[in-house]
Structure 1
Amino acid sequence: MAKNRNDVPINGLYDDEGKIFGEEQAAEGGQAPDQADEAGETEVSLSREELAALCKESICPGCDVFKEAESIRLRALADSENVKKRLLRETEELKKYAGESILADLLPILDNLDLALAHTDGLSAECKNFVIGVDMTRKLFVDAVKNHGLEVVQAAKGSDFDPEVHDAVGTVQEPGLGDNQIAQVIQNGYRLKGRLLRPAKVMVNKP
């Protein structure tokens, strides 16, 4: 049946001349509109990195790439928190032992006061008054350093030798003492707020 030029193509199948769309293209070896559209489309290819980046940008809680990215983020946050705590701990420790070097330099003065007081036998009355003054000076000195956390390491004659806080400078044989016991204290040891500043130098009994 001939088709009127003024008729509207049915469902867009016919043109104004009554020909079916695509007939000319098919006759001439051309492509159909759908094929032409498909041919005109640009093929898009993404690398694995680009695809992963696009996946990370999308909200996809169930995606493996998203889970991996979230795991990396949480590890980075944990590492940052650990670094923060470590720096805070190191800062507090630095403040706590800030006077360590100064107190270590003052220990020889205390040693000389102890040495002077250790040789006071057979002195005259005038010298004894001088010794009393030295003893008072030592007590003031000890009280001052105690306020900064300095304390004497326990090292008495007859006590057991502890290599953690005692430094054996020699051995002796002294009756009445057991093996590995302190026979003599040569030099006092000191701690600063629990940390060993200097071990006590002692003579150890070895029967």
Structure 2
Amino acid sequence: MANKKNTEVPINGLYDEDGKLFGEDAPEIDLREGGGESEGEAEVSLSQDELEALCRESVCPGCDVHKEAETVRLRALADAENVKKRLLREAEDLKKYAGESVLADLLPVLDNLDLALAHTGNLDDACKNFVIGVEMTRKLFLDAVKGHGLEAVQAERGVGFDPEVHEAVGTVEEGGLDNNAIAQVVQGGYVLKGRLLRPAKVMVNKT
């Protein structure tokens, strides 16, 4: 009996007329992880620094966004450097003038010693030892504060008036002195490491 041609309909559409599975001749698909990659391809892994460098290279250096970002970055760096310098300068000044308030409180002691010595012209011989003691005390006191950077402002009779370190509290007219010269020192002035702590109060000659 002749073979009857198979005309059966494939079950659920899984077989063709020759009884083969549909796609039986198709190449086998590798479903394993990474199996779909072509030969020669490999997974790329970049570090954070490499990614940032790649992003920078991808941004056009001539575009406005890049220029603005670069300007902001440079301005931020400049501001940070200025703040750093200011803080260092303030720290140095704080260290340099740490004793300023203490030395300022000691100036009245020098004023009283100067005042005591200014009224010793008519004392008798019995008081000379007392005057010598006051002078030695004043000298020791000045030597002590000089070690901390305190020095007296040059203010003597006949010295030219300097508004940077002298304060005029009045004027006099004396023919033997030059115009604008110091005629009298009312109160001594002092500087601390180059900074004026207190100006010298003087009477100025005006002719």
Same fold per TM (> 0.5)? yes
Counterparts of 1:67 and 1:103 in 2: how far apart (Å)?
54
Counterparts of 2:88 and 2:56 in 1: how far apart (Å)?
38
TM-score (norm 1): 0.68
Question: What is the match of residue 93 of structure 2?
Answer: 93
Question: What is the match of residue 103 of structure 1?
Answer: 103
Aligned-pair CA distance for 1:158: 1.3
Amino acid at match of 2:97: Y
Once superposed, which parts of structure 1, at least 4 consecutive aligned residues long, lie more than 4 Å away? none
SS in 1 for 2:145: helix
Please state which structure has a larger fraction of its residues in helix: 1
Question: What is the match of residue 74 of structure 1?
Answer: 74
Identity across aligned pairs (percent)? Answer: 74
Structure 1 residues 58, 174: closer, same or farther in 2, change over 3 A?
Answer: closer
Counterparts of 2:179 and 2:132 in 1: how far apart (Å)?
37
Which string of whole-angstrom CA distances, capped at 9 and with x for unpartnered residues, describes residues 89-120 of structure 1? Answer: 01111111111111111001001001111111
Counterparts of 1:204 and 1:58 in 2: how far apart (Å)?
70
Structure 1 residues 63, 134: closer, same or farther in 2, change over 3 A?
Answer: same
Does the 8 A contact of 1:61 with 1:67 survive in 2? no
SS in 1 for 2:161: coil
Amino acid at match of 1:148: H
Question: What is the match of residue 139 of structure 1?
Answer: 139
Question: What is the match of residue 61 of structure 2?
Answer: 62
Question: What is the match of residue 43 of structure 1?
Answer: none
Structure 1 unaligned regions, length at least 5: 1-55
- What is the count of residue pairs matched by the alignment? 152
Question: What is the match of residue 124 of structure 1?
Answer: 124
Question: What is the match of residue 83 of structure 1?
Answer: 83
TM-score (norm 2): 0.68
Give me the CA root mean square deviation. Answer: 1.7
Counterparts of 1:127 and 1:156 in 2: how far apart (Å)?
26
Structure 1 residues 123, 82: closer, same or farther in 2, change over 3 A?
Answer: same
Counterparts of 1:150 and 1:205 in 2: how far apart (Å)?
28
